[in-house]
Amino acid sequence: MSFPATRMRRLRRSAGIRDMLAETRLHTSRMVYPVFVDGRSRRKREIMLMPGQFTYPLGSLRKLAAELEEKGIRSVLLFGVPRTKDASGSGAFSSDGVVQRAIGEIREGSSLTVAADLCLCEYTSNGQCGIIRGGDIDNDATLGTYAKIAVSQAEAGAHIIAPSGMMDGQVGAIRKALDGSGHSETMIMAYASKSASSFYGPFREAAESAPAGGDRKGYQLNFANARESMRELQLDAEEGADILMVKPAMPNLDIICRARERFDLPLAAYSVSGEYSMLKAASKLGMIDYRSAVIEAATSIFRSGADILITYSAPELAGWIE
């Protein structure tokens, strides 16, 4: 039936009705908070390009974990800034590495689910995500290093390994290494569809991971290619990923939607640093209302099909939801 018998505005007449009929709801149990840990620092430092976000010293992590749990945040994704860097990124797989120690600190003092980002860009002196040989990244040699990192992170107590380097075959290599070392219960959250994006800039300041030369377009996805993204998602699913991820979130709502329709695996979306900083900057200039814009952005990501949202706004969202 059409107007006047059908009046869609009846479904929106009051806040109570709108809330009752909301198809998409935010909940802190489905949010993951990214945490930057600096192995060289003894104090918390605000990230200039990400107002309200910080890099944390190891000694502050138990306090941070308690604060997050009090807000209702249940999961974190760890990134490390090592004490030193080298060509092989050896700090990434050291048992005494910054992320390995951070995992222990958080596991010791909280019940948070801990995911560890697995990549080399924070640990290599060249800032690339793989091992360079002959002037180019050696994909297959890098897989061996990724396997060592995964086992090291699992031994430190990570619940989830999150490989972000976009090397071919990385999920299969990591799954084999985990299973072969007695860590078959450790999950893999694959950065399966990760575009070469201009929205990563503030993150690179926080993690000190900008490439010393060139870029990462030779291994990260071309953001113009939706079908290629679906192939990457399919391959990671076949290699044993437990969770698939799309990154960045807002520019890829169509990819999230396609992935939700095609795959039954849990689907994560990463609302990246540029998305966060863009809303912060616009609100500072009085162009938008920050709270309502963040809620709208997060809701749209879940509405498109994501099960999990990795977001720097998780603590703020938790307070607003409450």
Select which of 63, 247, 280, 284 is catalytic: 247
Handedness of CA 267, 273, 274, 278 (dihedral sign): positive
Q: What are phi and psi of 114, to 5 degrees?
A: -110, 120
Average pLDDT in the 29-52 region?
94
Catalytic annotation present for 247: yes
pLDDT value of position 283:
97
Residue 93, both tokens? 């797989």
Contact 140, 102 (CB under 8 A): no
CA–CA dist 46, 50 (Å, integer): 8
How many helices and strands, by DSSP H and E, does the chain display?
11, 12
- pLDDT tens-digit map of 154-171: 999 999 999 999 999 999
Given pLDDT bands bounded at 50, 70 and 90, which one contains residue 217? confident
Select which of 194, 217, 280, 284 is catalytic: 194
Given pLDDT bands bounded at 50, 70 and 90, which one contains residue 213? low
pLDDT value of position 214:
67
Mean pLDDT, rounded, of the chain: 94
Q: Could you give the percent of the chain with pLDDT greater than 70?
A: 98
User: In Å, what is the CA distance from 207 to each residue of 145, 213, 243, 258?
Assistant: 20, 17, 24, 31
Position 220 pLDDT exceeds 80 = yes
Helix (H, G, I), strand (E, B) or coil at 251: helix
Position 209 pLDDT exceeds 80 = no
Position 212 pLDDT exceeds 70 = no
- pLDDT tens-digit map of 84-143: 888 889 999 999 999 999 999 999 989 999 999 999 988 988 888 889 888 888 999 999
Give me the domains of the chain, ranges plus CATH numbers.
24-211+219-321 (3.20.20.70)
Helix (H, G, I), strand (E, B) or coil at 43: coil
CA–CA dist 314, 32 (Å, integer): 7
Contact 137, 161 (CB under 8 A): no
pLDDT value of position 297:
97
Catalytic annotation present for 194: yes
- pLDDT tens-digit map of 251-284: 999 999 999 999 999 999 999 999 999 999 999 9
pLDDT value of position 206:
79
pLDDT value of position 230:
98
Closest CA to 194 of 133, 235, 238: 235
